[in-house]
Amino acid sequence: MRRFRFALFLMLLSAPAVAQQESGNISLAKEYTRKGEHEKAAFLYARLPTDAQTASNVLPDYLETLQQLKRYKDAEKLVKRAQKAHPEEPYGVTLGAVYAAAGDPAAAIKQYERVLSQLTAQQVLPVAAEFQRRQLPEWAEKTYLRGRALAKTDTEYGPQLIQLYTQSGNSERLMAETLRLVQDDERQLPFVRNMLQNSLQDDKGFEALERELLSSVQKYPERTVYSELLLWLQVQRRDFTGALVQAKALDRRGRTEGSRVMELAAIAQQNKDYESAIGGYEYVLREYRSGPFYAMARQRLVQTREAQVRDTYPIETAKIRSLIGEYQQVLTELGRTPQTAPVLRSMAVLHAFQLDEKPEGIKLLQEVIDMPRASLDVVDQAKIDLADIYLLRAEPWEATLLYSQVEKSHKDSPLGYEAKLRNARLSYFAGDFKLAKSHLDILKEATTREIANDAMQLSLLITDNTAQDTAGVALRDYAAVEQLVFQNKLPEALRGLDALLQKYPGHALQDEAWLLKAQLQRRTGDYKGAVGTLEKITANPKYDVLSDDALFLLATIQEDNLQDKEAAKTLYNQLLVKYPGSIYVAEARKHFRKLRGDSL
C-alpha cells in the first residue's frame, strides 16, 4: 500500500512537467508548420498523445503538415481518430476534404454523401458552415435542404439558404427561396427586403425578381405579401407607375382609405415622377371624397402640377396663372384655415417669383404668419418665403432678420437648417465668404441629406475659389450672377456669365459658369445653345468633377426638349459606364431602360 501511495505521489509530481513539455512540443511544432518545415513538425506531432493530436487547437496544423508531406493515409487515420474522440464536430466533412486533397474525388463525394445520410438536426448548422468554410457551397446547400427534410417544413433554414445564394450569386434560387420564406410568414418581410437590397445589384437580378413577383401576385392574389414585396421593389427601381398599381391594390384590400397611395404619391413627387404622383392623388380624391386624406390630396395635387410646370422649360406665364386659379379653387372648397395655409404659401411664391407680383406675395404670406392656430412649422416656412421676397426686393437686412428668427425657433431641426442655409447664401451673395463658410461648416453635419449636400457644394465652391485668390474677386462676380438667378432675372444672369467667362478665361470657376449657363439656356428655351455649352464640359477631361452633372443634363435635354431619343439613350448609357458612382446612376438607368424599350 505504501509503494502504491509513493508511486502516485511521484506521478502527481511529474504531471506538471509532462504537461509543460507537451505544451512546448505543440508550440514548437506549430512554429515548424508555419515555417514550412513539415518533417520536423510531423515528428513532434507524432510524439503527442492521441487526445492532444485530435484537440481543436492542434488537429488543423497536424493535418496540414501530413497533407503537405502527402502522407494522406496518416491524415485519414488522424481524422478518423478525431471523429471517434469528438463525434459532435463536423470531421466527416474534413475526412472528405482529405480524400479530395489525395486526388480521389469519388471517395470525397462518397464521404460527403455519407455525412448527409447520417445528418441529425443538431449537426445541420455546423456541417453546413464547414462546407462553406471549405468553399463547397453546393454541399452546404444540400446540407440545409437535408435539414429542411428532417424538419419537415418548406421554410426551415430559409435565411441561411438566402445568404448562401446571395454569396454564390445564384439569383434564380435566391428569388425562389425568398418568395418561399415570405409566403406563409409576413413577419419575414423586413429581413427579406434587407437581403434583397444587399444582393440584387444589377438590372438582370431586379428584372428576374420582378417577373417572379408579378407571376406570384397573379397566381396568389389573396397573399398580400407578394404585392407588398413588388411595391417595395418597384419603388427601389423608381418604377412609380407600376408601384402605383400595387399601392392601389393594397389600399383596396387593406381598406386603408388611401393612405398607401398617398405615401407612394409623395415618394413619386419627391422623385419628380409627376404623372404617377398626380395619378395617386387623383385616385384618393375620386375614391375617398369623405376620407381623412381628401383635403391633403386636394392640396398636393395642385402642388405637384406646380412642380411639373416649374420643371418644364420655358415656364409659361399662362400656366402659372392657371395654377393660381386652381389654388384659389382649393381655398374656395376647403376654406382659408390652418390646414390650407400651405396653399396660401404656394400662391404667394408664384406671385412673387414667377409673376413679379411681390406685394401680393407679401400679403398672402403675412396672412399665414398672422393666422390663429396655424402650426409653427407652416408659419416659419412662410417667414422663410417672406425673407426670400425681401431678398428679391434688395432688402437683405429684413431677409436675414426673418431667417435668424426661424433659426432660433427651430434649432437642430430641418427647418432651422434650411433657414441657416439661406443665411449662408445671403452672406455668399454679399461677398462675405468667411461668414458664409462658418454657417456652411455647421450645416455639413445637418441631419437632412439635401441640406448637407447643398452646404457641402457651396462650401467647396468658396474654398476652391478663394485658395489662391484670397480676395475672391472672380467668385464675387459669380455670386452676383447667382443672385440674379435667384431673383429670376435670367437674361441679366446670362449676360453676367458671358462677361465673367470673358473676363476670367481658364479660371477654376469656368466649369461652374458653363454648367450654370447651360441650365439657364434650357430654362429660357435655348436648347441647342445649352447642348453646345454642356459639350464644352463633357469633351474636356479636366472638368471631371462636373462631367456627370453635365452629361445627365445633356441627356435630359436630348430626351425631353429636343426629342432625340437615340442621342439621349447613348448619353445615359455613357454616364452609367463612365461614372458608376454618380448620384445620377439610378435615374439614368431608369431612363435608359425606358428608351431601350424595356417593359417597366
pLDDT at 543: 57
Residue type, 180: R
Q: Is 170 helix (H, G, I), strand (E, B) or coil?
A: coil
pLDDT at 4: 43
State the number of CA atoms in the 13 A half-sphere of 167 facing the CB: 14
- Point out the residues of the chain with pLDDT beneath 70: 1-22, 24, 198-203, 447, 468-471, 541-544, 598-600
pLDDT at 287: 94
- Orientation angle between helical segments 341-349 and 317-334, nearest 10 degrees: 160
> How far is residue 424's CA from residue 433's CA, in Å, rounded to a whole number?
9
Judge if pTM exceeds 0.85.
Answer: no
Answer yes or no: are the C-beta atoms of 206 and 233 closer than 8 Å: yes
Residues 6+ apart with CB under 8 A from 166: 174, 195, 198, 199
Which sign, positive or negative, has the C-alpha torsion 354, 355, 360, 362? positive
Answer yes or no: are the C-beta atoms of 426 and 391 closer than 8 Å: yes
> How far is residue 98's CA from residue 95's CA, in Å, rounded to a whole number?
5
pLDDT at 177: 81
What does the block give as the cell for 442? Answer: 455647421
> How far is residue 371's CA from residue 367's CA, in Å, rounded to a whole number?
6
pLDDT at 202: 63
Residues 6+ apart with CB under 8 A from 127: 90, 92, 93, 115, 119, 143
> How far is residue 68's CA from residue 47's CA, in Å, rounded to a whole number?
19
- Residue 95, Cα to own-chain centre: how many angstroms? 44
- Buried residues in 568-600 as b, exposed as e (16+ CB within 10 A): bbebbbbbbeebeebebbebbbbbbbbbeeeee
Answer yes or no: are the C-beta atoms of 196 and 172 closer than 8 Å: no
> How far is residue 493's CA from residue 478's CA, in Å, rounded to a whole number?
10
How many beta carbons lie within 10 A of that of residue 40, not counting itself? 15
> How far is residue 199's CA from residue 205's CA, in Å, rounded to a whole number?
9
> How far is residue 364's CA from residue 345's CA, in Å, rounded to a whole number?
7
Question: Which 8-state DSSP code applies to residue 315?
Answer: P
Whole-angstrom CA distances from 439 to 412, 417, 496 are 13, 10, 27
Residue range 560-582, pLDDT digits in tens: 999 999 999 999 999 999 888 88
pLDDT at 9: 42
Q: What is the DSSP string of 556-568?
A: HIIIIIS--HHHH
SS (H, E, C) 453-501: HHHHHHHHHHHHCCCCCCCCHHHHHHHHHHHHHHCCCHHHHHHHHHHHH
> How far is residue 531's CA from residue 521's CA, in Å, rounded to a whole number?
9
The per-type count for the chain, helices as H runs and strands as E runs, is 33, 0
pLDDT at 493: 95
pLDDT at 426: 93
Residue type, 592: F
pLDDT at 386: 96
Q: What is the DSSP string of 47-91?
A: TS-HHHHTSTTTHHHHHHHHHHTT-HHHHHHHHHHHHHH-TTS-H
What does the block give as the cell for 471? Answer: 480676395
> How far is residue 138's CA from residue 170's CA, in Å, rounded to a whole number?
11
The residue assigned the cell 471517434 is: 84
Long-range Cβ pairs for the range 177-183 (8 Å, 24+):
178/209, 179/212, 179/213, 179/216, 179/226, 179/229, 180/154, 180/155, 181/155, 182/225, 182/226, 182/229, 183/220, 183/223, 183/225, 183/226
What does the block give as the cell for 385? Answer: 418665403
Residue of 359, 350, 383 lying closest to 369 (CA atoms): 383
Residues 6+ apart with CB under 8 A from 343: 299, 302, 327, 330, 331
